[in-house]
Amino acid sequence: MTRAHDRRKAGHCEILGETYAKFEFFENGWNPYSRFLDVDKVDLILRRNGSGRVVYREVQVKYGKLFECKPKWERMLFDFTTWRFFDEDDFADHVGRKDFFVAYVVAPDAGPNGQIHYQGDIFIFPVGAFVESIRCAPFTATAKRRVCISRLRNDPGRWFLRRTYRRFDAVTGQTCLEVSQYRRNFGGLLLHEQSPGSV
């Protein structure tokens, strides 16, 4: 079997996303623990001890493959894009929680020699913001939302969730929702500190 075949096996991408996320959280001062079972949509529990307080966060990790934009009209606006499908109520039970986050890790496939191309593109959404973002994405024929996030061609620091899957000629509030503020949003994990020892 080829490496490409192995990479396509079910579960591989989620494991890869969790591995990147663990490294990123550790590098940013959190100790990440994996859940033995994915219960209540929790993949990782983060722990941080600072200023005499222990702070915990719960995280669901999603992974998206990053593709080069191909259609000419897309290439006029964006250079890379990723997409996944979500049910609108996927995180409904967690909305309102200040200690629950969705980490969306995006990266292109490994190169032909197996080299990794992850460029630090991890989006850390408070769960409420992620649910609002899902609701901005267009419905598919199966009643799921197609969440498509693309990087602006002329400003690689800016990322947008597309509000439509149809062609458009300009990035506006009607066509896109900016999500740049959630890329590498490690500071957001501490905006709503809980009481000591709370989860």
| In contact, 134 and 145? CB cutoff 8 Å | yes
Long-range CB pairs of 164-173, under 8 A, 24+ apart, other chains included: 164/138, 165/138, 167/71, 167/73, 168/73, 168/77, 169/73, 169/76, 170/77, 171/77
> For residue range 170-184, what is the model confidence (pLDDT) as tens digits?
999 999 999 999 999
Cα 134 to chain centroid distance, Å, stands at 12
State the average pLDDT for the chain.
87
Q: Does residue 36 register a pLDDT over 90?
A: no
pTM: 0.87
Look at strands 67-68 and 159-162 and give their pairing. Answer: unpaired
Boundaries of every domain in the chain: 3-190
For the chain, list the strands marked E by DSSP. Answer: 31-39, 42-50, 53-65, 67-68, 78-86, 100-107, 122-126, 145-152, 159-162, 176-178
Look at strands 53-65 and 145-152 and give their pairing. Answer: unpaired
Q: Does residue 50 register a pLDDT over 80?
A: no
| Gap between the terminal Cα atoms of the chain | 43
> For residue range 143-199, what is the model confidence (pLDDT) as tens digits?
899 999 999 999 999 999 999 989 999 999 999 999 999 999 999 999 765 433 333
Nearest Cα to Cα of residue 150 among 125, 174, 121: 121
